[in-house]
Amino acid sequence: MDSFDELQFELGVASCCGKCAESVRDVMMQSGVCASRCGFEHHPQAVPLTFYERKAA
């Protein structure tokens, strides 16, 4: 599923009182499912990455 609306339609998420809507959007945004279609602007951040050389035994 690519958007909150699609998830809501297919699974009925946040369709009653709406209290969980913000949490669902946060989870979708954190997981990268909907970077631009969940109603929140997402700013990717660079993460330091270290490579280690592996030696054969």
Which pLDDT value is given to residue 4? 80
Mean pLDDT, contiguous 10-residue spans, the chain (57 residues): 80 84 84 63 74 83
| Residue spans per domain, the chain | 1-43
Residue 6 CB partners (closer than 8 Å, separation 6+): none
> Is residue 19 within 8 Å of residue 10, measured between CB atoms?
no
Task: Print burial letters for 7-23: b (CB count within 10 Å at least 16), e (below 16).
Answer: beeeeebbeeeeeeeee
Residue 13 CB partners (closer than 8 Å, separation 6+): 7, 20, 21, 24
Let me know how long the chain is: 57
Which pLDDT value is given to residue 39? 58
Which pLDDT value is given to residue 34? 66
- On whether the pTM is more than 0.85, the answer is no
